[in-house]
Amino acid sequence: MRRQLRSRRAPAFPYGYRYRLDDQDEVNQNYLADEEEEAEEAQVLVVPDLEEEEEKEEEERSQGQPIGNAWWQKLQIMIEYLWDPERRISLAQTGQSWSLILFIYFFFYASLAAVITLCMYMLFLTISPYMPTFTERVKTPGVMIRPFAHSLNFNFNVSEPDTWQHYVISLNGFLQGYNDSLQEEMNVDCPPGQYFIQDGNEDEDKKACQFKRSFLKNCSGLEDPTFGYATGQPCILLKMNRIVGFRPELGDPVKVSCKVQRGDEDDIRSINYYPESASFDLRYYPYYGKLTHVNYTSPLVAMHFTDVVKNQAVPVQCQLKGKGIINDVISDHFVGRVIFTLNIET
């Protein structure tokens, strides 16, 4: 196509002083053709060919037209390149070659998409929807606390409800799922102190054990709707990350213990844990996965900091303790432990 274009154009633009080795041009074009690098579609490809344009411009210039005209002509050539009404050519391709190009590309990409879809399908055939293929990345559970509002620093002023109101709202929201009525309706009351193992097929729906909001006593928000924030005795709930198939080892429930991370041990003075055992009961394990274990509610341990030192930042580290629990990974501060700061002003 390009060749045609050139040879058609050549007589229309008598070269000024610019001589060209005509035979050489031709020879090289033959060579180009023979060079034809890539698959056939490449030959008919249409990327706006800058070089071609440049050449045209050059030819244009060599005519020695006044500059004002040259711009206009350039524009015209540009427009003609985009759409040449005379030959019904756009971007140096006829409608036919355009449709061919589009067809080839459509075909190529469609088959590519088909292959990829097939591969993805095969991938899903190998993946169980109930049990992750590999679990080594999350073998040991991480720990998170509630309320969580973007930050692990609890800064609030007891006398200014605005500074702690959002904690209360967050906790209330979080505990909605633990409401006694809801739990009693959805979940079963299973015997404490032992795993709640449900054999059967993978795809059977599993039952979940109740964890009632009332288990949290003073931190349930039932008696004190401000979770102690109004009195400078904040409640913080601790939650162990769910892991499919995780069981605390040897029937020993995982315990929670908090202390000052850095500084004076006495800054906290006293913590009340709810449930009082400060542990996650075995009956909440194992977890069978989102698909079948629909109503599973993560067990919680509430820490009630009743007499923490005021007007200073107290870094608190809460760790999980139990057999097989790792809580001292240097690179990950949330595996088996959580660190947060309490800074309560009065």
Partner 1 sequence: MSRKTLEIYSVELDGTKDTKQTDQEDDKKYNDLDLKKSHQKEELKRELDLDDHKLTSEELEQKYGTNIITGLSSARAAEHLARDGPNTLSPPKQTPEIIKFLKQMVGGFSILLWIGAVLCWIAYGIQYVNDKSASLDSVYLGVVLALVVILTGIFAYYQEAKSTNIMASFSKMIPQEALVIRDSEKKVIPAEQLVVGDIVEIKGGDQIPADIRLLSSQGCKVDNSSLTGESEPQPRSAEFTHENPLETKNIGFYSTTCLEGTATGVVINTGDRTVIGRIASLASGVGSEKTPIATEIEHFVHIVAGVAVSVGLLFFIIAVSLKYQVLDSIIFLIGIIVANVPEGLLATVTVTLSLTAKRMAKKNCLVKNLEAVETLGSTSIICSDKTGTLTQNRMAVAHLWFDNQIFMADTSENQLNQAFDQSSGTWASLSKIIALCNRAEFRPGQENIPIMKKVVVGDASETALLKFSEVILGDVMEIRKRNRKVAEIPFNSTNKFQLSIHETEDPEDKHFLVVMKGAPERILERCSTIMINGQEQPLGKSNATAFHTAYMELGGLGERVLGFCHLYLPEDEFPESYPFDVDAMNFPTSNLCFVGLLSMIDPPRSTVPDAVAKCRSAGIKVIMVTGDHPITAKAVAKSVGVISASSETVEDIARRCSIAVEQVNKRDARAAVVTGMELKDMAPEQLDEILANYSEIVFARTSPQQKLIIVEGCQRQDAVVAVTGDGVNDSPALKKADIGIAMGIAGSDAAKNAADMVLLDDNFASIVTGVEEGRLIFDNLKKTIAYTLTKNIAELCPFLIYIIVGLPLPIGTITLLFIDLGTDIIPSIALAYEKAESDIMNRKPRHKKKDRLVNHQLAIYSYLHIGLMQALGAFLVYFTVYAQQGFWPTSLINLRVRWEKDELNDVEDSYGQEWTRYQRKYLEWTGYTAFFVGIMVQQIADLIIRKTRRNSIFQQGLFRNKVIWVGIASQIIIALILSYGLGSVTALSFTMLR
List contacts with partner 1 (CB under 8 A): 17, 19-22, 24-25, 27-32, 34-39, 42-43, 45, 47, 49, 51, 55, 108-109, 112, 116, 119-120, 123-124, 127, 130-135, 137-138, 141-144, 148, 150-152, 239, 241-244, 287, 289-291, 293, 296, 329, 331-335, 338
**Is 130 within 8 Å of 292 (Cβ atoms)?**
yes
Cα distance from N-terminal residue to C-terminal residue, the chain = 84
Q: Which is nearer to partner 1, 167 or 217 (CB)?
A: 167
CB 28, min distance to partner 1, A: 4
Q: Which residues contact 105 (CB under 8 A, 6 or more apart)?
A: 41
The two tokens of residue 278 are 């400060």
Q: Which is nearer to partner 1, 247 or 310 (CB)?
A: 247
CB 114, min distance to partner 1, A: 11
| Strand 235-240 relative to strand 300-305, pairing | antiparallel
CB 132, min distance to partner 1, A: 4
The Cα-based distances of 289 to 95, 133, 229 in angstroms read 56, 13, 35
Q: Which is nearer to partner 1, 120 or 169 (CB)?
A: 120
CB 137, min distance to partner 1, A: 6
Q: Which is nearer to partner 1, 186 or 230 (CB)?
A: 186
DSSP string computed for 112-163: HHHHHHHHHHHHHHHS-SSS-S--GGGSS-BEEEES-SS-SEEEEETT-HHH
Q: Which is nearer to partner 1, 29 or 312 (CB)?
A: 29
Q: Which is nearer to partner 1, 221 or 336 (CB)?
A: 336
Q: Which is nearer to partner 1, 72 or 107 (CB)?
A: 107
CB 312, min distance to partner 1, A: 21
DSSP string computed for 193-246: TS-----S-TTS----B---GGGGGGGSSSS-TTTTGGGT--EEEEEEPP-BT-
CB 129, min distance to partner 1, A: 8
CB 85, min distance to partner 1, A: 25
CB 230, min distance to partner 1, A: 25
Q: Which is nearer to partner 1, 129 or 161 (CB)?
A: 129
| Strand 300-305 relative to strand 337-345, pairing | unpaired
What is the helix, strand, coil percentage profile of the chain, to 5?
40, 20, 40
**Is 306 within 8 Å of 272 (Cβ atoms)?**
yes
Residue 64 region by backbone torsions, left for phi larger than 0, else alpha for psi between -120 and 50, else beta: left
